[in-house]
Structure 1
């Protein structure tokens, strides 16, 4: 079988989950029962109908029965009774039996108890729980309503016992978006406890101009333990616009950051849209003429950083790299865990493998904190077109998987176990249009083999897909993993899209560093030249300190 050098960059999406003390049985970070261990609490958090999810608009089905809601007392200025900081989030407690939701495809009338919030860290580190085509908003607000006449316990035991209305919150600098949110955020405090609401603020005041006829619907769960699979989710398409300074008050004044659960596997569930929702489809893509926003127009998209000056990928000039003594060895935790991969999914832009929460970690390597690896995904070209995102000395390689990196080689003694890659790539055809649970026992170490993880480059950059957040420390390892070309070609062949990569971006005044002992990059004329990229998202926080490059 003909083999050749094929770089495939495995993309590890990493979030800083710092080990701080927590007072409750579960937490978002800093205790044993963080999200990856919630299922160990004896709750259904490891079930098949979990929330939140990524709403892939190209796969959404229109449901003609999802018509207008009936909202009772959403306009009342006196229904918010108090505001509570419970140490996990902030919630507004509503007056009993005053606020109701019905119609909109719901099976009955639901009585709203509270609304609460999910958020991240700052503008580069968004914190909505649901995502749309992979886009995460800065915040998300939930209006939680058990079925009318049901106790909370009875509602939690009913498959449609709880209706949650989810509103994305978008940050902007329009002074007109201050309003009632300015009054609400004045109540935020870092002290756990309850504060009586003394201002007249209605739910409609907070929702603003959101179109209530445009929404998505799916069956899911609570997003905190006990993760009861009893929720009818309504996720509104339009975001609430809130002034950036007020969005920033949530983490700043409460001391709580990254209070959101990661997206969960869809597991065959369908997501529906109301007839009023804008036609589904991916607004951005990797090929210029294939959609509304090709790579040259990403910078014009809403909430985009793609036109900023610290963008990725880049062309790495080996001779210009500056040695840095601080770039030492990495510490990889549970890279040998053969059960870390939960599922594999076709996102419509790539194929990604999602890992168990709080299982795989990276530290060292000149990084200040421990980082928990969430997923890895792939970028590729075609059989005739090279598709790596990064270049080394102006050479683009055939493929780039983000998290590790892969090449295929003319040699038969590849550095990784080819059987492992056969197992992994066997899932690609299974996820042509859906996600698939990962049933094989494969670790990241199995995929990387004996690749050298000591010699590497480092530079400050961005995500390579919209919204191109500039919160990434890129580590480019010099040695590659060698994988059979035919296995790599299963990605474009089975997903029906190719050229899944962003062109290189100007370096501007950035410096590319290299480990002090590292040799120069391999000869770019050598087809086996290595390229291994490890993406570290420094966008989340450690305790109350933000990670900065």
Structure 2
């Protein structure tokens, strides 16, 4: 009887709804079920060599002239932001109208329609919660906009292509302000309506993607090829991680880890729903080139500057 009770409790703590393509239960915060067990429990992809997230070492970034500006369609359209959901007791997911929102340019191989965005966080604004890091720095939260190459009907089909998904990652940095910015105050006001696993709320015509991304220069970013950061960890993602952070006040960030539950209000809260950084292995992270490296890519910066100076004499 005691064994059955333990099994029942564990089952209540383990969200069973799965990410696209996964066929096994996975979770974040149990000793026997967390991100360190994914490569063992779900080895097909989670034990791969091109996993995400990664630590971005700025000293090792390689310039790439193809990483030009993006084209963002529908990012100012409030009718394209449809519904907010407590997604499987693991995160907050906001569904998008993919007939109105898409991304192209930015060195991407085609047009990608935007399906949803979701957020990863720690345990309050003073706790680290982003998935990617920059020179070892981890931010309070990270927002991911998930986009599917337009030639595919769904995520499952897209993941068979190593560039089938394009995910846009945005760091969220805590500030000492209160209730700012207004767009994030609006977004977090909906959290109390979706406390339990599976709760949803229609939010059409109340918010836009660009309002949530205010302050971010979307022409400056890092690029690498990686994977989903949740099981099934498929290595079919072109990652774009933007350099500028979204500034959100501490009180609003705190609402994510104090309002949303893995199952119901009688159980644990959703906290620390991020995967630690994975090995980069032989991958290279790229970014925009500087003017000096564009003119003289094979030369050192000092040599390039000298030649540039002499050209004006």
Is residue 191 of structure 1 aligned with residue 191 of structure 2?
Answer: no
SS at match of 1:154: helix
SS at match of 2:163: coil
Find the aligned partners of 2:128 and 2:29 in 1 and give their Cα distance: 16
Aligned-residue offset at 1:126: 1.1
SS at match of 2:235: coil
**Residue matched to 1:21:** 13
Structure 1 residues 251 and 176: alpha-carbon distance in aligned structure 2, compared to 1, 3 A threshold: closer
**Residue matched to 1:162:** 165
Aligned-residue offset at 1:47: 0.2
Aligned-residue offset at 1:42: 4.2
Moved more, 129-138 or 34-43: 34-43
Is residue 173 of structure 1 aligned with residue 173 of structure 2?
Answer: no
Is residue 84 of structure 1 aligned with residue 85 of structure 2?
Answer: yes
Find the aligned partners of 1:33 and 1:276 in 2 and give their Cα distance: 44
SS at match of 2:13: coil
> Retained in 1: the 8 A contact 2:119–2:144?
yes
Find the aligned partners of 1:179 and 1:235 in 2 and give their Cα distance: 24
SS at match of 2:78: coil
Q: Summarize deviations over 1:261-290 as a string: whole Å, max 9, x none.
A: 00000011000012379x9xxxxxxxxxxx
SS at match of 2:238: strand
Find the aligned partners of 1:43 and 1:123 in 2 and give their Cα distance: 35
Aligned-residue offset at 1:31: 6.3
**Residue matched to 1:100:** 102
Structure 1 residues 104 and 198: alpha-carbon distance in aligned structure 2, compared to 1, 3 A threshold: closer
> Retained in 1: the 8 A contact 2:228–2:234?
yes
SS at match of 1:248: helix
Structure 1 residues 137 and 276: alpha-carbon distance in aligned structure 2, compared to 1, 3 A threshold: farther
> Retained in 2: the 8 A contact 1:214–1:275?
no
**Residue matched to 2:235:** 229
Q: Summarize deviations over 1:271-328 as a string: whole Å, max 9, x none.
A: 0012379x9xxxxxxxxxxxxxxxxxxxxxxxxxxxxxxxxxxxxxxxxxxxxxxxxx
Equivalent runs, 1:107-122 vs 2, <5 Å? 107-122=109-124
Identify which of 273, 278, 283 aligns with 1:259: 273
More helix by share: 2
Aligned-residue offset at 1:149: 2.4
> Retained in 1: the 8 A contact 2:46–2:234?
yes
- TM-score of the two chains, using structure 1 as the length reference: 0.46
Q: Summarize deviations over 1:403-457 as a string: whole Å, max 9, x none.
A: xxxxxxxxxxxxxxxxxxxxxxxxxxxxxxxxxxxxxxxxxxxxxxxxxxxxxxx
Find the aligned partners of 2:290 and 2:185 in 1 and give their Cα distance: 31
> Retained in 2: the 8 A contact 1:67–1:275?
no
SS at match of 1:43: helix
Find the aligned partners of 2:186 and 2:290 in 1 and give their Cα distance: 32
**Residue matched to 1:136:** 138
SS at match of 2:36: helix
> Retained in 1: the 8 A contact 2:63–2:290?
no
Runs of at least 5 residues in structure 2 that lack an aligned partner in the other structure: 1-9, 17-24, 261-268, 294-313
SS at match of 1:78: helix
- TM-score of the two chains, using structure 2 as the length reference: 0.79
Find the aligned partners of 1:31 and 1:75 in 2 and give their Cα distance: 43
SS at match of 2:84: strand
Find the aligned partners of 2:15 and 2:213 in 1 and give their Cα distance: 33
Find the aligned partners of 1:197 and 1:73 in 2 and give their Cα distance: 16
**Residue matched to 1:209:** 215
> Retained in 1: the 8 A contact 2:170–2:241?
yes
Is residue 270 of structure 1 aligned with residue 273 of structure 2?
Answer: no
RMSD of equivalent CA atoms: 1.9
Runs of at least 5 residues in structure 1 that lack an aligned partner in the other structure: 1-18, 280-549
